[in-house]
């Protein structure tokens, strides 16, 4: 273990020095999409600045940055959830940025209050259901999923999934801790099976008749609709979409976002990359390449996402998902959300 840390430190120092000398930018990213790689290539071609990409899971990348300390070669951290960006900020890993471009183009609700991270794209946590078993209008809100009438009919991912943790954090923010726990308990009581798999697996479970309702991120559904795999495609096109809470607070929105390391050796180039990622051209590629909603208004959506229809989004600042994450996890533990 000690030898590993020494070797990691030596590598980090060398890598940071080499890239600083060459004017490159080092990105630690928890996003694993071809669209992102294409965007980094576009940036390099337009600016001459090379992007060095290290991919991994958010928590692992955050721990790595903590272990590397001031010698970390990371210039930018990209995460797929506001809760994880909050963890990085709380660990002192991110710098406050002064960028008129970022603060002008990104609405306040999608960035850290002190500009330590910024959203790059939006994802909506929707409800999907089997229209052969459930009528239009029977489910309108996240809170409806706790109704005993849906006993044994809901599929959802594990409580260890950050998307579900952030969703519950948003319920806490809207309804208070007591009601949020009642909701989580009701949801668990209505599960058709032990939480398992990813969002796509929940949609497949509806097709297989294991449940009639699921909570998923919208882009997973869009990817399945677009898939050449007939099993995935058929499962996806046969469910209906609900954007929840349209008569009150609006649908839960999360983000993919990024911040610049507090120890960035290539700060200027890192800022150039973040500002590039919110240009109209880059935002259009987020929408087209990964079926996400752009963080910048007015960008054309993919046809599949456009067909989901219009919706009202919860206006809450997404930073609250991180602040309330510990309480959300405690509630999940108390109600037995596995």
Q: Do 240 and 259 have their domain in common?
A: no
Task: Give the separation between CA 228 and CA 231, rounded to whole angstroms.
Answer: 9
Enclosing domain of residue 47: 2-122+254-301
Task: Give the separation between CA 289 and CA 308, rounded to whole angstroms.
Answer: 17
Is 191 a member of any domain? Answer: yes
Convert the pLDDT of each residue in 177-211 to its tens digit.
999 999 999 999 999 999 999 999 999 999 999 99
Q: Do 157 and 104 have their domain in common?
A: no
Residue 170 sits at φ, ψ, to 5 deg, of -70, -35
204, burial (CB in 10 Å: exposed 0-12, middle 13-18, buried 19+): buried
Convert the pLDDT of each residue in 247-260 to its tens digit.
999 999 999 999 99
> For the residues 313-324, what does the mean pLDDT come to?
96
Q: Do 202 and 283 have their domain in common?
A: no
Convert the pLDDT of each residue in 55-102 to its tens digit.
999 999 999 999 999 999 999 999 999 999 999 999 999 999 999 999
> For the residues 290-309, what does the mean pLDDT come to?
96
> For the residues 265-280, what does the mean pLDDT come to?
98
- What pLDDT does 23 receive? 82
Reference 72, options 117, 126, 2, 17; nearest CA is 17
Convert the pLDDT of each residue in 132-170 to its tens digit.
999 999 999 999 999 999 999 999 999 999 999 999 999
- What pLDDT does 238 receive? 97
Convert the pLDDT of each residue in 13-61 to its tens digit.
444 444 444 589 999 999 999 999 999 999 999 999 999 999 999 999 9
State how many domains the chain has. 2
Neighbours of 63 (CB within 10 A): 14
SS3 per residue for 232-301: HHHHHHCCEEECCCCCCCCECEEEEEEEEECCCCCHHHHHHHHHHCCCHHHHHHHHHHHCCEECCCCCCC
- What pLDDT does 310 receive? 95
Does 9 score more than 60 pLDDT? no
Q: Do 199 and 295 have their domain in common?
A: no
Q: Do 95 and 240 have their domain in common?
A: no
> For the residues 256-272, what does the mean pLDDT come to?
97
With pLDDT > 70 as the criterion, what percentage of the chain qualifies? 93
Q: Do 92 and 182 have their domain in common?
A: no
Does 11 score more than 70 pLDDT? no
Q: Strand ranges (DSSP E) for 100-247?
A: 118-129, 154-155, 213-217, 240-242
CATH (domain of 106): 3.40.190.10
Q: Do 197 and 51 have their domain in common?
A: no
C-alpha distances in Å from residue 47, one per residue of 39, 152, 270 = 12, 55, 12
């Amino acid at each position: 273990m000690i030898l590993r840390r020494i070797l990691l430190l030596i590598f980090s120092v060398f890598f940071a020095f080499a890239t600083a000398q060459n004017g490159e930018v080092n990105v630690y990213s928890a996003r694993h999409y071809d669209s992102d790689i294409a965007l980094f290539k576009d940036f390099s071609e337009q600016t001459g600045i090379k992007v060095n990409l290290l991919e991994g899971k958010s928590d692992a990348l955050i721990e790595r940055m903590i272990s590397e300390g001031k010698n970390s070669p990371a210039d930018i951290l990209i995460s797929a959830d506001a809760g994880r960006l909050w963890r990085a900020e709380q660990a002192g890993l991110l710098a406050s940025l002064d960028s008129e471009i970022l603060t002008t183009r990104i609405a306040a609700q999608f960035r850290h209050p002190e500009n330590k991270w910024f959203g790059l794209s939006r994802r909506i946590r929707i409800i999907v259901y089997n229209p052969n078993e459930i009528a239009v209008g029977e489910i309108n809100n996240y809170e409806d999923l706790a109704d005993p009438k849906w006993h044994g009919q809901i599929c959802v991912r594990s409580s260890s999934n950050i998307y579900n943790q952030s969703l519950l954090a948003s319920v806490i923010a809207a309804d208070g801790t007591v009601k949020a726990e009642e909701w989580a308990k009701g949801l668990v009581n209505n599960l058709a099976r032990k939480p398992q798999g990813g969002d796509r697996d929940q949609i497949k479970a509806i097709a297989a008749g294991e449940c009639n309702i699921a909570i998923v991120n919208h882009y997973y559904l869009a990817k399945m609709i677009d898939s050449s795999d007939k099993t995935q495609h058929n499962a996806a096109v046969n469910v209906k979409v609900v954007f929840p809470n349209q008569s009150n607070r609006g649908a839960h929105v999360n983000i993919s976002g990024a911040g610049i390391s507090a120890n960035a050796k290539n700060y200027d180039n890192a800022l150039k990359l973040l500002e590039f990622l919110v240009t109209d051209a880059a935002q259009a590629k987020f929408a087209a390449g990964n079926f996400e909603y752009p963080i910048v208004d007015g960008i054309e959506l993919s046809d599949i996402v456009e067909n989901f229809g219009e919706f009202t989004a919860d206006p809450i600042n997404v930073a609250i998902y991180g602040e309330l994450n510990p309480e959300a996890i405690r509630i999940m533990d108390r109600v037995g959300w596995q």
